[in-house]
Amino acid sequence: MDITLKEIRKTFGRVNANDRVTLAVPGGTIQGLLGENGAGKSTLMKILSGYLRPDGGDILLDGKSALFRHPADAVRAGIGMLHQDPQDFPTLTVLENFMSGRPDRLFPSRSAAMSQLRKLAATFGFAFDPRAYLDTLTVGERQQLEILRLLSLNVRVLILDEPTTGISTAQKAQLFDTLRRLSAEGRTILFVSHKLEEVESLCHGVAVLRAGALAGTLAPPYTTAELVTLMFGRPVAMPQRELVAPGRPVLELRGLTAVDDRLRLAPLDLDIRSGEVVGLAGLTDSGQRLLLRACAGLVRPTAGTVRIGGLDLTGRSYPSFRSRGVVFVPTARLEEGLIGDMDLSEHLQLIRPPRGLFINWTSARTAADERIREFAIRGRPDTRMRDLSGGNQQRALLSLLAPPLALILIEEPTRGLDVESAAAVWTRLRAHCRAGTAILFLSSDMDEILTHSDRIVVCYCGRCSPPLDPAAADREILGRLIGGKGWDREAAG
């Protein structure tokens, strides 16, 4: 199906999310949509898939005007979207999820759906247990299921919004094969990403958005420099790792184990010294999250000890850790990290040790203005957090980390961020290290792990490797460990 977007406009408050975007996508191709965070990619795709209504402009499908009032209308017209955050039902089974969104029938046939699911899964080499509950699946598997579900609804256009976030390298390769195959069958794919190499290797054409407007379109062969210039208007350099002489031990784990509903952490000894950055690598939920939370007092260890700055805090709760200079920065920014309905001035007053009973809002706004300049946040002191883009939310979150800090425990520091925002995040974190703060972070982005860690710990099914030197560990070695290979040798060495 040929898609033409004509002069699409959409504003949120004062933000111009889409500013007269015009784009033509020929049927049967894989069209990349590239842009930094807040460039307007997701908005444009949500408009195409009926999730949002544009303020102006038109959508033509095979030349016919089609503006949807509802995502279900778009699916009926053959357009399906895979959202950045899975829009599925974790408490239902694989089969029930697969059957959701079908044209209504009071008693849908489970057996017919089952055989359709099996057939589709076999076609693409996916393996599902139809009776498994969705919350036991990885993000990558949930994505595969969602693609099959959309295909079963006969979509001819598939939109994928940042589909490679949070899935393994193997799953990514499988996803790309699937997409190439679907396009060869004549389906049109719109692939939204801010990762250059993905777009370069996959797409038949790339459109770049910048600040809501179409910055340009490119056809292969692409040059990275050209893409980066279109995206940012200028080249970006990532801050380099600098060696900070590690100081006193900040975090000491001895025989630490912890349990959550899915995983048991094998006993772990680990020391982290001040000024040091330790990266936790591994497939989603291999123990990194649990380890990080146990180090913050958010999960009670079942055995072993946690010492912070030499003080035994085993079994204490997060406020005790926080009062010793330990902060936990979660992945889910709007769910756990920030208060969506409050602005930056309010957040800054919230974390400030109270001086007196009342708040001086004039000086609070001045303080917020300073942070906004210092952290290059695109927003105002009274912009609600939920109205900021992801990258700016992350900057705001970092601006709330008030030194002196002993230890920053941070999940996915740059998840969903573009190169420029990611560089800003790490520049900030590095500044904390220079002041003596230790950082323990987890990331599903191997480049991030390799670029920023002084030492790397790989987790696999609750086991944690001894710390590896990033100079000695390359992608190959890490990839094998993450995938569960070579553990006996590593564990012995």
The residues of the shown chain that bind another protein, judged by CB under 8 A, are 53, 318-319, 322, 328, 330, 335-343, 345-347, 349-351, 354, 356-359, 361, 364, 382, 400
Q: How far is 47 from 456, CA to CA, in rounded Å?
A: 41
Structure tokens at 179: 């997409």
Taking the complex as a whole, the smallest distance from the CB of residue 366 to another protein amounts, in Å, to 13
Taking the complex as a whole, the smallest distance from the CB of residue 278 to another protein amounts, in Å, to 21
**Per-position b or e across 97-133, b if 16+ CB within 10 A of its CB:** bbbebeeeeeeeeeeebbebbeebbeebebebebeee
Q: Which helix (H) or strand (E) holds 312?
A: strand 311-312
Considering beta carbons, is residue 12 or 136 the nearer one to another protein?
A: 12
Considering beta carbons, is residue 110 or 386 the nearer one to another protein?
A: 386
Considering beta carbons, is residue 173 or 351 the nearer one to another protein?
A: 351
Considering beta carbons, is residue 19 or 55 the nearer one to another protein?
A: 55
Structure tokens at 140: 């990558």
Taking the complex as a whole, the smallest distance from the CB of residue 99 to another protein amounts, in Å, to 27
Taking the complex as a whole, the smallest distance from the CB of residue 111 to another protein amounts, in Å, to 38
Considering beta carbons, is residue 41 or 347 the nearer one to another protein?
A: 347
Q: Which helix (H) or strand (E) holds 152?
A: helix 139-152
Identify the bridge partners of residue 387 per DSSP, sorted by sequence position. none
Taking the complex as a whole, the smallest distance from the CB of residue 354 to another protein amounts, in Å, to 4
- At residue 412's C-alpha, the angle toward residues 383 and 289, to 5°, is 120
Q: What is the DSSP letter of 235?
A: -
Considering beta carbons, is residue 214 or 296 the nearer one to another protein?
A: 296
- The closest of 342, 387, 386, 406 to 368, measured between CA atoms, is 342
Taking the complex as a whole, the smallest distance from the CB of residue 110 to another protein amounts, in Å, to 34
- CB-facing half-sphere around the CA of 424: CA atoms within 13 A: 22
Taking the complex as a whole, the smallest distance from the CB of residue 346 to another protein amounts, in Å, to 6
Residue type, 38: G
Distances (CA, A) of 292 to 184, 196, 222, 288, 316: 43, 30, 40, 6, 15
Considering beta carbons, is residue 107 or 358 the nearer one to another protein?
A: 358
Considering beta carbons, is residue 339 or 491 the nearer one to another protein?
A: 339
Taking the complex as a whole, the smallest distance from the CB of residue 131 to another protein amounts, in Å, to 31
